[in-house]
Chains A and B, each alone.
Chain A
Amino acid sequence: MMKRLLIVIPSYNEETALPKLLNELKTTVFLNSFTVVPLVVNDCSKDKTELVAKHNGGNVLSLVNNLGIGGAVQAGIKYAKRHGFDYVLQMDGDGQHPPAEVNKLLQAALDTQADVVIGSRFLNKQGFQTSLMRRFGIKYFHWLNRLLTHKSIYDTTSGFRLMGARAINLAASYYPDDYPEPESLIFFSRAGLIIKEVPVIMRERQGGKSSIAGFSSLYYMMKVSLSSILSYVRKI
């Protein structure tokens, strides 16, 4: 039976990178048991993201308020739930995640029956690697995550992930706001979902700016630590 996959691309001011990404998605050959629909979630961008996405044939969800990455992704997840998609794949709009790598996540989901599959930069050291500061942060989150979930996930901040039906249901009702990647993993693992990690090769961003940079990264770490610990103790 064909499975339906929604590729959610949360985008904030990504007019430069989006056309290339959408065209690449059109030409990519996905595993043939999947029908793939791309969905750009325009998080109230100030540039022509919406126009560019529509022009390149993408479905677009346009948010009237800027919700941040968590809210944007959750909008995509709600869309998927309402339209009966079996899987949601989250992918950055800046071209860091090559569409060709999507198949690796799909294959892992089919093979292992995992509810969440994370595309990881670190399982084998290929492709674009991030800066020293970032690597330290990711190491720290690995430690924190292992402490809280007793699972060893290396790339907890990866925004390249596949969610199955159980994860979609959960995330549609609750999804963290600001920096959802590490926190949602704790949430998913507490709900008893199976989380798997597969190595993927990432590229350098093709345009746009990272949402985390410079001095704010320390603040980011503190904020995420606090919210991770809170999501460890909160009711689900």
Chain B
Amino acid sequence: MDLCRGTVSFSIWSEGLGILSEFLGVQVPTNLIFSALIFVILIYLLHLSRVNSKLQHQVTRLTQELAILNQRLETLEAEKQN
């Protein structure tokens, strides 16, 4: 969201990008956009991998619970038959 706001505001106020890149010491203003975007993507990847681990952890828990419940069900059914 901030990313959209940033790019839109710089497309309206294009000198701003030049001023900002000069302030940060970036010679070509477009390179500032590229490197900023790459940084944002990296952070996002990190975030996704965090989400992924959490989901994996949840799947593990569910699988284990399911196995334990299944086993219990089978024993109960076997007891009932006898």
On A, residues with C-beta under 8 Å from B are 41, 59-65, 67, 71, 74-75, 78-79, 82, 177
Q: Are B71 and A71 in contact (CB under 8 A)?
A: no
Q: Are B67 and A64 in contact (CB under 8 A)?
A: yes
Say what secondary structure dominates the interface of chain B: helix
Given the interface contacts A67-B60, A67-B63, does A60 sit within 8 Å of B68 by beta carbon? no
- Size class of B's contact patch? 10 to 19
Q: Are A71 and B70 in contact (CB under 8 A)?
A: no
Q: Are A71 and B68 in contact (CB under 8 A)?
A: no
In Å, the complex CA distance between A157 and B14 comes to 60
Cβ contacts under 8 Å, A41 to chain B: 67
In Å, the complex CA distance between A65 and B71 comes to 15
State whether the Cβ of B46 lies closer than 8 Å to any Cβ in chain A: no
In B34-82, which residues have CB < 8 Å from any A CB?
Answer: 59-60, 63-68, 70-71
Q: Are B64 and A71 in contact (CB under 8 A)?
A: yes
Q: Which 7 A-B pairs have the closest CB atoms?
A: A75-B64, A61-B67, A65-B63, A71-B60, A63-B67, A63-B63, A61-B71
Specify which of B64, B65, B66 lies most central, judged by the most chain A CB atoms within 10 Å of its CB: B64
